Amino acid sequence: MSAATLEKRRFVTIVLAIALGVGGCTAMLLGDGTRSAPTSKTTTTSDIALGRDVWQALADARLPERESLSVSVRNGVVTLSGRASSEAVRDQAGRIAGSVAGVRQVVNNIR
């Protein structure tokens, strides 16, 4: 996948996440994440921002599989999904997500 395609995909994903947040979803969807009802507008805004921060941290780390990963957030709990080429990459993604300020817990469902 070219760099331009990845940037376009990231932009579309962020726009969709914001639209879903406004519509009442607390999850930032970057792939096949789940949706859930918000407890408040503050939670929605915080979770979307947190999801964006986690995604940016994964992108900054230049993980080889980052484009195939999904990040969803609910009440500060980050769920990672997708596929990784190795257990080391899976574990690295979990550590990176857990290092982001505001993350209360990481559920690492990367396979």
Task: For 72-106, write each residue's pLDDT tens digit.
Answer: 999 999 999 999 999 999 999 999 999 999 999 99
Task: For 49-74, write each residue's pLDDT tens digit.
Answer: 999 999 999 999 988 777 789 999 99
> Residue type at 74?
R
The order of strands in the sheet holding 77-82 is: 69-74, 77-82, 105-110
Q: Is the pTM of this model over 0.85?
A: no
